[in-house]
Amino acid sequence: STLKLSETSVQTYDDIHKIVNIIKQKKAIATQVRVVVLKIPIEKIPPLVIAMLPTNGESNAMKIYDLLMNVLIMSRDAGINLVSLGSDGAPAEFNAQRLIMNCEKAESFFEFHDNYYNVHFKMPIYQNLPIITVQDPKHAKKTARNQLHSGARLLVLGNNVMLYRHLLTLAQAKNHAIYIRDVVNVDKQDDGAAYRLFHSDVLEQMYQNELENNEMQSLFVYLFVLGDLFDSYLNRNIFHKERIIMAMRGYFFLNMWAEYIESANQLYSSIFSISKNFISPQSFKIFTSLAESLILLIISHREFYSLYPLYPWEHGTEAIEHLFGISRQITNDFSFYEFFKIQQRVAYRDKIIRQGIQIQKEKTSASGYIFDFNPNSISNENIDILRIWPDDNAIYDAIKTAYNDAAGFIKALGIKLLNDKTIPHFYVSTSHQSMVISDLSKNCNDDFDIDNISGLDFNNEEFELDNLNENSFTDAASEVARLSKLVDLTESELKQISDISDSSKVELNHILNTTKFSSLIEFQQNELFYTNGLMNVSQIIQIRTSHNAFSRSERPCQNHRLNAIQSSNNQEEFNRNSANLLISEFFRKDGTSEPTIRSRKERWTGRKNLENIGLPQYINVPNISRANVTDNNPLRENGFILYISKESIFLGKILSLYRSISMRHAYVSFSQDIDSLSYISVATFVNTDGNLFSQICKSGGNIFAHITPKQVIYHFDNSCLDINNVASLPGRLCLEGNSWEIFNFFSQKH
């Protein structure tokens, strides 16, 4: 339970009845366990569990803040130099960390400012030492992947959008770098799938498919920039200055992207919005905080721990996830007491795994996290690289490079950059106003979902005390015996622990006994863009390849070309049965094979009323009560519609269709009933002059919208379109004949 120990002590069996009833009355049944571990940030040194707290899953930010502050103060009192506090990005934990970083209890703050680029980071000082909060980069990578699977959003990035069907296309290609299982019926917490998506092989696949003329340009940039952001922590071989460039490039890019959407919203308030066309607010906070934390980690090591290398991949939640993973291997479904009792065996398994000794497989294919460790000791040269600290001038230079790279990507995608600072400048002080976008700084409950791995559910089936009998006590005795076998280490296992050669000593000896580092040549930053502003795609892929990070998932990507023939057979099956793709990523919890068709009575009454609108006889508008969506004229990608938004009529070209199933939005390739859909993604064309329509956005890029079916007025007949491209005016369409008459009528009568 979640009650205090003094409230749950028992002396007799009768006391058990009484206490259990009290626990039920107070709704204090524990359903989760919150674990706090201390981890020396060297890979082969196992973590130490210092707290296990039963919870009911209702912990708020203040409770977590109080817990973390107690850990911080006690560690300082014990002479332990606590460097960072890791979290998986769950909102309550993230907010608790923000409280610590801005806490009034701090003695002072160590600040870093780059006024020209509006960068202002600070870390609190407690008992003369800094503390930094860090989000787990592997969780962040999974979150970035999951953003692309959300049918509730249409991610708009300049000239293009990022769609779920883009991932499906990549997975179905002959030389695919991701698998169908990474896209269809996915496990959102699968580290391997996230690793494959952000691997350079995916960028290479997109490049081989003529990226320059491809609608996936925005996806290409998204995968490169965010992949580099996450691997600025996870890569084990690069200089810290290069890490700063990778992280701050992502920081600036995300802020520029958000500013673009806000600017477009001001120009087209009925079409663009942060909530529909950008990543979730919680994701934005997590991703940008990663860049802030990395710079602060580097500076704190430089100022306070300069002789010790910084292993940024150790400053996350992987150690605690690994602890839970091993616990599940020992007993798949445990109570809090069982979880507590098996920790000696968990620690034993963890230690031998970190020594590179193979035991039971830690995960099944395509399911859950992967414990990423290097069975070999880090080389002395790498250790020295990881304790070469950039001074402030080097950090300023890295920030400048990162900003220029981010601005280059934004411009390459057709976006007009606000407050462009890529021009030559004298270093001058600017306002300390935060770059964080207004809508993103608000706390909101959106559809962002992330599993709180550090608060793990355990078996909590209720039992009836009145039904206890002699057999019940016999069963209990058997359970105690079973648990004892799980808990107690055998003599051979105890001996094995003492016999294991601690390879971490190799690293420690070099760290502690070497104060003069060998002369190492700093990296040279390669240009990502040509002088005309176009992306140097081959160079970008080469850089991303050098930054790939994840030692234990190399095999799937290395072998994907070897498996292409075998996999292509599966792809052909999917192509022949296109109906099976009607419901893809979000259709895993629903057992039906046919979507539920809403009855005519449930359809939007506004569209039904269009039958009585009084259309002129010279305009042919069939099936208007169904928006002309029929069995013979289904909604499909690349079809055209008219839709209304805030009393304006727009021409839309269909990009993707979604249907609501099991509280999620499933991608479908076509629909014969418009009212069965939940969202429609469209490229939007605004009537500019006469019968001309333009998709060009005034803030750069193109206009896109994520609309509901209720907004659709009419679907043009696919067999007789009067819509033509204007050769002399790129990005513009000309509506003619009956199609123009339909638009002209509705635009006057809306």
- Which of the two residues, 710 and 662, has the higher pLDDT score? 710
Residue appearing with tokens 């990549």: 170
Q: What is the pLDDT of residues 140-161, one digit of tens each?
A: 999 999 999 989 999 999 999 9
What pLDDT is attached to residue 446?
44
Q: What is the pLDDT of residues 91-144, one digit of tens each?
A: 999 999 999 999 888 999 999 999 999 999 999 999 999 999 999 999 999 999
Binning pLDDT at 50, 70 and 90, where does residue 642 land? very high
Average pLDDT, the chain: 81
Which residues does 454 contact at the CB level (< 8 Å), separation at least 6? 34, 35, 87, 88, 90, 93, 317, 320, 321
What pLDDT is attached to residue 13?
83
Binning pLDDT at 50, 70 and 90, where does residue 45 land? confident
What pLDDT is attached to residue 519?
55
| pLDDT(685) > 70 | yes
Question: What count of other Cβ atoms lies within 10 Å of the Cβ of residue 124?
Answer: 21
Indicate the length of the chain as a whole number: 750
Binning pLDDT at 50, 70 and 90, where does residue 637 land? very high
What pLDDT is attached to residue 478?
56
- Which of the two residues, 716 and 572, has the higher pLDDT score? 716
| SS percent in the chain: helix, strand, coil, step 5 | 45, 15, 40
| pLDDT(690) > 60 | yes
- Which of the two residues, 162 and 745, has the higher pLDDT score? 162
Top mean pLDDT of 54-68, 97-111, 480-494, 607-621 is at: 97-111
Whether residue 439 contacts residue 274, with contact meaning beta carbons closer than 8 Å, is answered with: yes
3-class DSSP string for 416-460:
CCCCCCCCCCCCCCCCCCCCCCHHHCCCCCCCCCCCCCCEEECCC
Q: What is the pLDDT of residues 377-409, one digit of tens each?
A: 788 889 999 999 999 999 999 999 999 999 999
Binning pLDDT at 50, 70 and 90, where does residue 609 land? low
Binning pLDDT at 50, 70 and 90, where does residue 750 land? low
Q: What is the pLDDT of residues 725-737, one digit of tens each?
A: 876 777 889 999 9
Q: What is the pLDDT of residues 507-556, one digit of tens each?
A: 788 888 887 665 556 666 778 999 999 999 999 999 999 999 865 544 44
Residue from 88, 74, 101, 83 nearest 40 by CA: 83
Span 12-39, average pLDDT:
89
Whether residue 36 contacts residue 72, with contact meaning beta carbons closer than 8 Å, is answered with: no
> Counting beta carbons within 10 angstroms of the beta carbon of residue 622, is it exposed (0 to 12), middle (13 to 18) or buried (19 or more)?
exposed
| pLDDT(441) > 70 | no
Q: What is the pLDDT of residues 233-251, one digit of tens each?
A: 999 999 999 999 999 999 9
Span 191-218, average pLDDT:
89
What pLDDT is attached to residue 135?
96
Q: What is the b/e burial string over 327-352, where b = at least 16 CB atoms within 10 angstroms of the residue's CB?
A: beebbeebbbebbebbbebbbbbbbb
Distances (CA, A) of 248 to 89, 593, 660, 706, 711: 19, 46, 37, 30, 40
What pLDDT is attached to residue 586?
33
DSSP state of 631: S
The first and second tokens of residue 265, run together, are 């919203």
Q: What is the pLDDT of residues 453-507, one digit of tens each?
A: 233 444 444 444 445 455 554 555 555 555 555 556 555 555 555 544 555 677 7
Which residues does 686 contact at the CB level (< 8 Å), separation at least 6? 650, 651, 693, 694, 695, 703
Question: What count of other Cβ atoms lies within 10 Å of the Cβ of residue 35?
Answer: 20
| pLDDT(195) > 70 | yes
> Counting beta carbons within 10 angstroms of the beta carbon of residue 375, is it exposed (0 to 12), middle (13 to 18) or buried (19 or more)?
middle
What pLDDT is attached to residue 534?
94
What pLDDT is attached to residue 194?
93
What pLDDT is attached to residue 525?
73
The rounded percent of the chain whose pLDDT value lies above 70 is 76
Q: What is the pLDDT of residues 264-292, one digit of tens each?
A: 999 999 999 999 999 999 999 999 999 99
